[in-house]
Amino acid sequence: MTVAAPVRDALGAAVDALAAAGCETPRLDAELLIADALGVDRGALIADPSLPVPGAAARVIGERVRRRIAREPVAYILGRKGFRRIELAVDSRVLIPRPETELLVEVALALPQGARVHDVGTGSGAVALALRDERPDLRVTASDASAAAVDVARANAARLGLELEVECVSGLPGGEYDLVVANLPYVADGELGSLEPEIARWEPRVALLAGPDGLDAIRALVGAAPAGMRLALEHAPHQGAAVRELLDEAETLADLAGHERVTAGTAR
Ligand SMILES: C[S@@+](CC[C@H](N)C(=O)[O-])C[C@H]1O[C@@H](n2cnc3c(N)ncnc32)[C@H](O)[C@@H]1O
């Protein structure tokens, strides 16, 4: 009879392998992957390093560590990512929602009762579904140019029991909106090679790249918006001034790291 190895051994081996592969947070990643494989939370691994790892779990852990060594993001390996109060199913068809995108949700939360919000480039549905969850009174719709992303967003809406109409459209679908929120791609084409492998190798190009200066998608959206329409746009920190130039009454919000991240204003 084989004796199950303790989790401290699995953890030690995984941390070493992930560190050698260049992962930035090898211990955290290993704990998340192993705790999930064992069906416990991270605290349990730390509280009881002698916890046995049965053979089946050891095989799952081995496979997950191999995926992580190839720099696949933890969120894709686990198939989920938390965003505000909801958990979204994610895979390589959609961008992994980032904490800084919560700023877009915060802008929309200030809207009056019953306002109409449209989320362009919804991806996993993160922004639109967080709004449906936190402000059921708002009339929220969403769209994405990627049919694969639309499938993911619709599946997330169904799984979370949140009603959301998601259209497959490039740019701004026709309609009347009190606010359009968008986290469109904003990486310059030439910058792809300088991104972390987790992003460059695994996240969809359509979610990342937007022309020579990274502003093609944002410019097209603003250009298509009728005069007077309010927009809140996520962008890279160095793009704040360029995005303000595109809008009237533009105001930029900083993320938790103090970087200019979301500009809200009115289309001309
Ligand atoms: C940076 S990701 C953001 C996804 C999601 N909003 C989030 O914050 O997690 C950009 C999304 O915009 C979509 N997209 C790219 N170009 C677009 C366009 N011209 N019109 C609509 N959606 C577009 C991509 O398919 C992708 O899902």
The upper half-sphere exposure of residue 72, i.e. CA atoms within 13 Å in the direction of its Cβ, equals: 16
Instruction: Tell me the pLDDT tens digit for each residue of 148-189.
Output: 999 999 999 999 999 999 999 999 999 999 999 999 999 999
Compute the distance between CA of residue 111 and CA of residue 133 in angstroms, rounded to an integer. Answer: 15
Residues of the chain with pLDDT under 50: none
Q: Give, using CA atoms, the residue closest to atom 26 of ligand 1.
A: 207
Cβ atoms of residues 39 and 60 within 8 Å: no
Q: Give, using CA atoms, the residue closest to atom 6 of ligand 1.
A: 122
Q: Which of 124, 146, 168 to mutate to test the pocket of ligand 1 (most atoms within 8 A of CB)?
A: 146
Q: What is the pLDDT of residue 4?
A: 83
Count of other CB atoms within 10 angstroms of residue 184 = 23
What is the whole-number distance in angstroms between the Cα of residue 149 and the centre of ligand 1? 8
Q: Which of 107, 119, 144, 216 to mutate to test the pocket of ligand 1 (most atoms within 8 A of CB)?
A: 144
Q: Give, using CA atoms, the residue closest to atom 17 of ligand 1.
A: 145
Kindly provide the b/e burial profile for residues 40-66, where b requires at least 16 CB atoms within 10 angstroms of the residue's own CB.
eeeeebeeeeebebeeebbebbeebbe
Ligand 1 atom with minimal separation from the 217 CA: 19
User: Does any ligand 1 atom lie closer than 6 A to the CB of residue 217?
Assistant: yes
Compute the distance between CA of residue 235 and CA of residue 232 in angstroms, rounded to an integer. Answer: 10
User: Does any ligand 1 atom lie closer than 6 A to the CB of residue 166?
Assistant: no
Kindly provide the b/e burial profile for residues 78-116, where b requires at least 16 CB atoms within 10 angstroms of the residue's own CB.
eebbebbebebbbeebbbbbeebbbbbbebbeebeeebe
User: Does any ligand 1 atom lie closer than 6 A to the CB of residue 104?
Assistant: no
Compute the distance between CA of residue 245 and CA of residue 54 in angstroms, rounded to an integer. Answer: 59
Q: Give, using CA atoms, the residue closest to atom 7 of ligand 1.
A: 97
Q: What is the pLDDT of residue 3?
A: 73
Q: What is the pLDDT of residue 77?
A: 98
User: Does any ligand 1 atom lie closer than 6 A to the CB of residue 149?
Assistant: yes
Report DSSP state, residue 96. Answer: P
